[in-house]
Amino acid sequence: MQLTRRLSTVFLAAAAAAGFMSAAQAQTTMRISISVAQNSHQGVAIDTFAREVEKRTAGRYKIQTFYSGALGGERESIEAVQLGTQELTFTSTGPVPNFVPSARILDIPFLFRDKAHARAVLDGQIGQDMLKEFEPKGFKALAWGENGVRHMTNSKRSVNAPDDLKGLKMRTMENPVHVAAYKGFGIVTTPMAFPEVFTALQQGTVDGQENPLSVIMAAKFDQVQKHLSLTGHVYSPAIFLMSKGAFDKLSAADKTAFLEAAKEGAKVGRARVDEDDSKGVAELRSKGMTVIENVDKSKFIAALAPVNAEFEKQFGKANIDKIRAVK
């Protein structure tokens, strides 16, 4: 009897240990990164995504979140996801054309009327078809998110018209469409990874930069920039990217869980962009920035006429018109 009890105790202990080991093995940890702070539109997007993945997979997948370029700038993170050394990233489309050239069309200045138009394009057929173009390049594009509408800041002077931009040294994203357009304004363009921007502005390496209000606030650029002009010159999408290899290993149910979690993250991120846009000007003024709100956008559009003619040759006028026509 005693031997039987002892054997059953050993058996139960072994079973419990095996159960613990299988539970430990069952949880897979993945990483996702952003280049801006946690308290930002991108931060709430990835935090929501991480929570939703864990919830929808009953804790079998845990997403570790990294902020403020802790795993590198956007381009480095995209490269890591493409190589499969990092599972996920949430990034603006700034460096994306270096990996998926067809995405360049989204970065044309003044392409979208407003955020509602851009969201309709990305959530509709055009945007959903473009997500598929990431797959041959080693990515699974889970969902479009949002970075916001970009505006210009600098430390030298107020910008009311395109002529005011001439000669300013401006940090730009590592994006060929942006660089071409800003040269059209007479800007001295300086492509640079985001984690380097604050120091470059602080040290005067560059005079200014351009970003959505959400990013300007999250990065505390008011500490190193005096002038803000609401040029609204580019709508900046963001995107949840996953290593295609990592995605392909998921079960069908888990693939759906990741896709749905990304949509939830995108929705929360967009809501934060709207909130930041509604309060951003007042907040940045209270921190000492001079804000030019009523910029004559028609002058900026006219200044880009030669560059836009080049974009029409590159992307096809019909493709650009198709985006502009979305209601």
For 24-33, write each residue's pLDDT tens digit: 447 999 999 9
pLDDT at 206 over 70: yes
Question: pLDDT digits over 153-177, tens only?
Answer: 999 999 999 999 999 999 999 899 9
CATH topology of domain 22-324: D-Maltodextrin-Binding Protein; domain 2 (3.40.190)
DSSP code for 45: H
Identify the band that residue 136 occupies on the pLDDT scale cut at 50, 70 and 90.
very high
Mean pLDDT of 36-56: 97
Structural tokens at position 302 = 């006219």
The model carries a pTM of: 0.90
Mean pLDDT of 294-307: 94
Mean pLDDT of 87-101: 96
Q: Indicate the residue type of 123.
A: D
178 with 107: CB under 8 angstroms? yes
Task: Label residues 131-162 b or e (16+ Cβ within 10 Å = b).
Answer: beebeebbbbbbbbbbbbbbbbbbeeeebeeb
What is the rounded CA–CA span in Å between residue 291 and residue 78? 34
Identify the band that residue 113 occupies on the pLDDT scale cut at 50, 70 and 90.
very high
Res 24: pLDDT: 46
The ranges assigned to domains in the chain are: 22-324
Mean pLDDT of 261-283: 98
